[in-house]
C-alpha cells in the first residue's frame, strides 16, 4: 500500500491539469469530497485538493497550448538532478528540466521509453500527500504499457524497484506488482500492466501512468462520476483479492481508476 513515509521511488504526489480548474474542482468534490484550496499564494492558479483538511492531490491549469488534461504521478527522489542523465541513458527523455518550487521541493518531469509521462519530487518543505490508502485518497498507481518487459527494465534501473508477478485475467496481459527497493510486499504501491496489441489504442500507442483512488463504495462513486459529467470506460468489475475496480475520466478526459478494496 502507499503510505506517507515515502521511500525512494515511492509515489508521493499526484496532480491533475485542467482547462477549467473551477469545473474540475467541482467534479472532484462531487466524486471524492475534496475541497480545492489556494495553499501557496505565490503558486498562481495551483490548488491543493484536501480531504478533511489533509492535502491529497493538486489541481493545476494547463501549462501551455497543446497540453492535454491529465493526471501526473510524482515519485520520491532524493537526487532529482542525477535522475536526468539516468533517464536519458535508459532511453527516456526530459519533458521539464529540474527546478525548485517555492521552497517546497525540487522537481522534474520525463517521458519513459514507452511514452509514459511521470515526475520526480525531492522534498524540502513539502513531503507529498498527507493522507493515503483511505477512501478519497491515493492508494496505488498503475502503468499501462505496450512493452511490459521494457517498462519493467527501465524503472528497475531508475528506481531499483522490486517486482512480483500477480495472476490477472489472460486478456489483460501480464501484471507485475511494484514495491520500492528494500521494502516487503506490504509496501505494494501498484503495478505494471502489459497491454496486448489490441489494447494499445486505448493509450494511443503510448504507455500511461494512472492514479488509483480508494473509495468506500465503487458504485456510488461511479454514479457521482456520471452525474458530474465524467466518463466510465470500464467497470465496475470485481477482481479476486483486490476489490471492485472501475476506469474513469473527468469531464476533460483526465483518466483515473477507482478501487473499492476487497474486505477479505
Question: 180 to each of 32, 146, 219, 261, how far by Cα in Å?
Answer: 27, 23, 31, 21
CA diameter of the chain: 49
The whole-angstrom separation of Cα 202 and Cα 224 is: 23
Q: Which three cell numbers stand for residue 162?
A: 522490486
What's the pLDDT tens digit per position in 13-44?
999 999 999 999 999 999 999 999 997 777 77
Percentage of the chain with pLDDT > 70? 93
pLDDT band, residue 79 (cuts 50/70/90)? very high
Q: Which of 197, 195, 180, 108 is nearest to 141 (CA)?
A: 180
Q: What is the pLDDT of residue 201?
A: 46
What angle, 0 to 180 degrees and rounded to 10, lies between the N-to-C axes of helices 80-89 and 148-159?
Answer: 150
pLDDT average, residue stretch 222-232: 97
Q: What is the pLDDT of residue 169?
A: 53
Strands 71-76 and 93-101, by their bridges, are unpaired
Does 146 have pLDDT greater than 60?
yes
pLDDT average, residue stretch 66-94: 96
All structural domains of the chain: 11-123 (3.10.180.10), 138-261 (3.10.180.10)
Does 83 have pLDDT greater than 70?
yes
The whole-angstrom separation of Cα 108 and Cα 78 is: 12
Q: What is the pLDDT of residue 170?
A: 47
221: part of which helix (H) or strand (E)? Answer: helix 218-227
What's the pLDDT tens digit per position in 154-199?
999 999 999 998 766 545 668 899 999 888 878 889 999 988 655 5
> Could you give the angle at the alpha carbon of 145 between the alpha carbons of 140 and 146, nearest 5°?
160
Do residues 175 and 194 make contact, with C-beta atoms less than 8 angstroms apart?
yes
The whole-angstrom separation of Cα 11 and Cα 4 is: 9
> Within 10 Å of residue 242's Cβ, how many Cβ atoms?
16
Looking at the chain, list the stretches that DSSP marks H as alpha helix, in order from N- to C-terminal side: 21-32, 80-89, 148-159, 218-227
What's the pLDDT tens digit per position in 103-143?
999 999 999 999 999 999 999 999 999 999 999 999 999 99
Q: Annotate 123-155 with b (16+ C-beta within 10 A) or e (fewer).
A: beebbbbebbbebbbbbbbbbbbbbbebbbebb
pLDDT band, residue 229 (cuts 50/70/90)? very high
pLDDT band, residue 264 (cuts 50/70/90)? low
Amino acid at each position: 500500500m502507499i503510505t506517507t513515509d515515502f521511500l525512494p521511488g515511492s509515489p508521493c504526489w499526484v496532480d491533475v491539469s485542467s482547462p477549467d480548474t473551477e469545473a474540475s474542482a467541482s467534479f472532484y468534490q462531487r466524486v471524492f469530497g475534496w475541497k480545492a484550496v489556494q495553499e501557496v499564494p505565490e503558486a498562481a492558479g495551483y490548488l491543493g485538493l484536501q480531504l478533511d483538511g489533509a492535502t491529497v492531490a493538486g489541481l493545476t491549469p494547463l501549462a501551455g497550448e497543446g497540453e492535454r488534461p491529465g493526471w501526473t504521478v510524482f515519485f520520491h527522489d532524493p537526487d532529482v538532478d542525477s535522475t536526468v542523465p539516468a533517464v536519458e541513458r535508459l532511453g527516456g527523455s526530459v519533458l521539464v528540466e529540474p527546478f525548485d518550487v517555492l521552497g517546497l521541493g525540487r522537481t522534474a518531469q520525463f517521458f519513459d521509453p514507452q511514452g509514459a509521462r511521470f515526475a520526480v519530487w525531492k522534498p524540502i518543505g513539502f513531503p507529498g500527500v498527507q493522507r493515503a490508502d483511505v477512501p478519497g485518497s491515493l492508494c496505488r498507481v498503475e502503468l499501462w504499457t505496450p512493452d511490459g518487459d521494457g517498462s519493467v527494465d527501465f524503472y528497475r534501473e531508475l528506481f531499483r524497484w522490486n517486482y512480483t508477478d500477480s495472476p490477472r485475467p489472460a486478456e489483460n496481459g501480464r501484471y507485475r506488482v511494484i514495491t520500492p527497493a528494500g521494502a516487503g510486499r506490504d509496501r505494494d504501491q501498484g503495478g505494471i500492466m502489459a497491454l496486448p496489441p489490441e489494447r494499445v489504442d486505448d493509450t494511443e500507442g503510448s504507455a500511461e501512468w494512472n492514479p488509483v483512488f480508494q473509495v468506500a463504495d465503487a458504485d456510488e462513486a461511479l454514479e457521482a462520476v456520471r452525474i458530474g459529467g465524467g466518463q466510465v470506460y470500464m467497470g465496475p468489475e470485481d477482481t479476486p483479492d483486490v476489490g471492485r475496480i472501475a476506469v474513469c475520466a473527468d469531464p476533460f478526459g483526465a483518466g483515473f481508476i477507482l478501487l473499492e478494496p476487497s474486505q477479505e
